[in-house]
Amino acid sequence: MLRPQTLASWLLAVAGGLLAAGLITLYSAGQTDTPTVASGLWLRQLWWLAIGLVLARVAFKTPPRVLEWLAPAFYGGALLLLVMTLLFGSGGGTAAGARSWLAIGGFRLGQPAEVAKLATIILLARYLGSRRRAPQTLAELIPPCLITAAPALLVALQPDLGSAVVFVGILFAVLFWVGTPGRLLFLLASPLFSLLLAFSTVSWGVWIVVLTALLIWARPYAFEGVMVWLVNVIMGVVALDLWERLAPYQQNRLLSFLNPEIDPQATGWNIIQSKVAIGSGGLLGKGFLEGTQKRLAFLPAQHTDFIFSVLAEEWGFLGVVAVIGLFVALFSVLIQIARNARDPFSSVLVFGVAGLLFTHVVENIGMTVGLMPITGIPLPLFSYGGSFLVVCLVSLGLVLRVAWDVKFAGFREP
């Protein structure tokens, strides 16, 4: 257990270590035998890093009370940017079929989804931090769910399902942190299970039977229990229609996740090459700049989605353990800062940031090793991307302010 007075120092040290490792890996990702878009991007990442550090300092200077007061304005502005992305995000703002960039006049201004994630965390922290107790019924979960659903649906319409999933991760993280009963969280998540199992009639039928038994055991209010059951049935019915509404590239990604060998030269190429790169790294790796999958440009999106594969190929199992260890240390520090925060708003804010980063790490590493579908989610502080890097640094700047307040204005023992 770290001393509360040292949490700010530990946060700076761990975040600095991850940033350094990320820049080194990004530099290596651009060193290939054939020209790729990754060449020289580490220099542009340095510019984004500089911008992010400046904005992180502004965030650090912002008192939590001011941030709490401005939460609705930040959230409303983020929703406006998401709507503008749907209206103006075509042309130069498209990527892999998704209008995730706000593009006006041919210029890409950024990815509002990243800003919306932080704005959602801040508003959730304001709402949940102002309550005297954690939500105890499904009806009490409606406001935080609506706060999360609005930006998540706008992002899903781009369509960017990977980022939409991150909003769900943030919601469950903050609800868990404020003490929402586990049975409520399970009931809230149950429609997602119904949607995933609906593609097998037998599996879905078994799930509905199990859910019915769990509802009888949990004994929620009658109306809430009936609504949960009906929503699960509806999700099973509309699953096939939702599948038809997915963009073709999204369908292919999901099919390739289930069986990459279906189309190894196209939809299955990414995950196959990623696994080859990771597996070939062995214990110690092939050495800095020496990854063959990377140098021959067999590894797709090696500067963004699959930068973890570059790390694994060149630094091996030990390098992967070291980086994952740094992420674990970061999450540990964030949790301790949240536990020692001086007020509920700051505590929920910090844990929401932890939920944001954790979801990104799990999604990114999971897709590179074939445990999750490829969703285009970047690895925090590693993947190239100005918008996400800046948001990560601003988020850590807000967390650092909370840790700084703990250091100099007293603290609450966990």
Confidence of residue 269 (pLDDT cuts 50, 70, 90): confident
Give the lowest-confidence range in 161-175, 333-347, 371-385: 371-385
For residue 108, give the 3-state DSSP assignment.
strand
* Assigned domain for 66 exists: yes
Dist CA 387 CA 303 (whole Å): 15
* Assigned domain for 69 exists: yes
Which runs of consecutive H residues, i.e. helices, occur in 369-414? 386-408
Closest C-alpha among 86, 117, 119 to residue 100: 86
Dist CA 354 CA 348 (whole Å): 10
Residues 6+ apart with CB under 8 A from 312: 277, 278, 281, 285, 319, 320, 368
Q: What's the number of domains the chain is made of?
A: 1
Report whether 389 contacts 381 (CB < 8 A).
yes
Which runs of consecutive H residues, i.e. helices, occur in 178-306? 182-197, 201-218, 222-245, 248-258, 269-280, 292-295
* Assigned domain for 253 exists: yes
Q: What is the structure's pLDDT at 92?
A: 41
* Assigned domain for 149 exists: yes
Rounded average pLDDT over 44-57: 96
Summarize pLDDT for 77-93 with one digit per residue, the tens. Answer: 999 999 988 887 653 44
- The percent of residues in the chain predicted with pLDDT above 90, rounded, is 53
pLDDT of 267 over the 80 cut: no
Dist CA 75 CA 398 (whole Å): 16
Summarize pLDDT for 338-362 with one digit per residue, the tens. Answer: 999 999 999 999 999 999 999 999 9
For tokens 């201004």, the residue is 109
Of 231 and 323, the structure prediction assigns the larger pLDDT to: 323
* Assigned domain for 414 exists: no
Query: DSSP state, 98?
Result: B
- For CA atoms 322, 326, 328, 333, give the dihedral sign: positive
CB atoms within 10 A of CB 207: 19
**Residue-averaged pLDDT of the chain:** 87
User: What domain range includes position 345?
Assistant: 4-408
Closest C-alpha among 35, 220, 87 to residue 141: 220
Helix (H) or strand (E) holding 102: strand 102-104
* Assigned domain for 413 exists: no
Dist CA 321 CA 304 (whole Å): 20
Of 365 and 1, the structure prediction assigns the larger pLDDT to: 365
Summarize pLDDT for 135-162 with one digit per residue, the tens. Answer: 988 889 999 999 999 999 999 888 788 8
Helix (H) or strand (E) holding 359: helix 344-368
Residues 6+ apart with CB under 8 A from 271: 256, 257, 260, 367, 368, 370, 374
